[in-house]
């Protein structure tokens, strides 16, 4: 079994006291990591699906590195619309950090996809990324695949969020399905829990490690759900399981 700790949308600032919609993001990410450490569930790797920072600063990426280094695990990251890709790639160029990487571990291949478009909140997986995805799957002997990206590959039922989703989600899902190997797609961006099934592919959106958006809302609205993370188990036979963990005391 392979265990993945899914964290997303920490939105850190250069100022450790920086706050987003009333939540101090450094403190809430710290609390989520502390919650993980205090429990008895152990991960083999961490996947972070974007919006690592909020204020376009190198210092915020440094805070991310400092906090995540303390887990002593490989940390795989993909960018979100709030990230600055050049800065993020530079900050995460050395292990234990990995930027838009592919990792083959036991029976599973995990692929981080860049779904961002410069200066836009919505996303798109460009031809280069689609080709990289196809060749990573074709070139691997792993029998099962999980992909991770920032934007949801399908509508989540919230009018305002669905205008800033993934503009070629249908194409991405069709490619994933065609491979016959993709079991799971995980994402961030929507700051709420989301679970769906698309053919054989389980699709999971994990709430942020900071503040959450109200589900099914037509207009921008936050709700009072606490920070969260998700535990994902990937089994050798392709089955998988997950548990959403709310960090109520963050």
Binding-site ranges for Fe ion (CB under 5 A)? 9, 51
* Residue 205 burial (CB count, 10 A): 26
| Closer of 51 and 129 to Fe ion (Cβ) | 51
Q: Tokens 């600063």: give the residue.
A: 57
> Cβ of residue 8: shortest distance to Fe ion, in angstroms?
7
> Cβ of residue 40: shortest distance to Fe ion, in angstroms?
29
Contact 109, 142 (CB under 8 A): yes
> Cβ of residue 37: shortest distance to Fe ion, in angstroms?
24
Q: Residues 228, 234, 238, 242: is their CA dihedral positive or negative? A: negative
Angle at 233 between CA 132 and CA 206, to 5 degrees: 70
| Closer of 137 and 161 to Fe ion (Cβ) | 161
Burial class of residue 52 (count of CB atoms within 10 Å of its CB; 0-12, 13-18, 19+) = buried
| Closer of 144 and 150 to Fe ion (Cβ) | 150
Q: State the Rg of the chain over Cα.
A: 16
CA dist 244 and 141 (Å) reads 30
* Residue 76: its H or E element: strand 75-78
| Closer of 9 and 114 to Fe ion (Cβ) | 9
> Cβ of residue 57: shortest distance to Fe ion, in angstroms?
16
> Cβ of residue 208: shortest distance to Fe ion, in angstroms?
6
- For residue 126, give the nearest of 172, 60, 189, 62 by alpha carbon: 172
Angle at 7 between CA 3 and CA 13, to 5 degrees: 150
| Closer of 43 and 161 to Fe ion (Cβ) | 161
| Closer of 9 and 242 to Fe ion (Cβ) | 9
> Cβ of residue 213: shortest distance to Fe ion, in angstroms?
9
């Amino acid at each position: 079994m392979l265990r993945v700790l899914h964290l997303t949308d920490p939105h850190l600032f250069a100022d450790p006291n920086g706050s987003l919609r009333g939540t101090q993001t450094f403190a809430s990410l710290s609390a989520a990591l502390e919650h993980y450490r205090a429990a008895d569930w152990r991960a083999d790797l961490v996947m972070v699906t974007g919006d690592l920072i909020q204020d376009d600063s190198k210092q915020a990426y440094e805070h991310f590195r400092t906090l995540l280094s303390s887990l002593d695990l490989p940390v795989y990251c993909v960018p979100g619309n709030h990230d600055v890709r050049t800065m993020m790639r530079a900050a995460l160029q050395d292990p234990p950090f990995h930027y838009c990487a592919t990792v083959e571990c036991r029976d599973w291949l995990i692929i981080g996809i860049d779904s961002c478009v410069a200066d836009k909140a919505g996303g798109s997986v460009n031809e280069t990324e689609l080709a990289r995805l196809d060749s990573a799957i074709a070139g691997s002997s792993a029998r099962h695949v999980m992909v991770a990206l920032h934007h949801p590959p399908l509508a989540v039922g919230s009018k305002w969020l669905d205008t800033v989703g993934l503009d070629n989600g249908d194409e991405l899902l069709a490619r994933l399905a065609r491979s016959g190997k993709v079991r799971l797609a995980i994402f961030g961006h929507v700051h709420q829990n989301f679970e769906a099934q698309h053919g054989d592919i389980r699709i999971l959106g994990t709430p942020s490690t900071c503040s959450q958006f109200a589900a099914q809302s037509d207009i921008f609205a936050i709700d009072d759900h606490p920070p969260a993370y998700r535990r994902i188990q990937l089994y050798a036979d392709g089955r998988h399981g997950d548990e959403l963990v709310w960090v109520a005391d963050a």
